[in-house]
């Protein structure tokens, strides 16, 4: 599986996928707010969402695993 990690510390604004969803490379998985800017966290490859470790409103640190793809 592929771990999608937070590129920077911030707050989770929105989770756009559910476990079991099929995603394509470039799909926006999570919206992360950092320094008053919204950053789209996109799928690095095609896959299926295996787990989601965050929800809207969560604070995350750099390199924290947000979700995993199979």
Token digits for 19?
């476990």
C-alpha to C-alpha distance for 27 and 52, rounded to whole angstroms: 15
Q: Please tell me the pTM assigned to this model.
A: 0.93
Residues 32, 37, 40, 41, CA torsion sign: negative
5-40 pLDDT, tens digit per residue, is 999 999 999 999 999 999 999 999 999 999 999 999
Question: What share of the chain has pLDDT > 90, as a percent?
Answer: 99
Three-state DSSP state, 63 = coil
pLDDT value at residue 21: 97
Quote the distance between the C-alpha of residue 13 and its chain's center. 10
């Amino acid at each position: 599986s592929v771990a999608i990690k937070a590129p920077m510390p911030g707050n989770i604004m929105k989770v756009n996928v559910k476990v079991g969803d099929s995603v394509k490379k470039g799909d926006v998985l999570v919206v992360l707010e950092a320094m008053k800017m919204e950053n789209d966290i996109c799928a690095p490859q095609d896959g299926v969402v295996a787990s989601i470790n965050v929800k809207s409103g969560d604070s995350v640190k750099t390199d924290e695993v947000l979700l995993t793809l199979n």
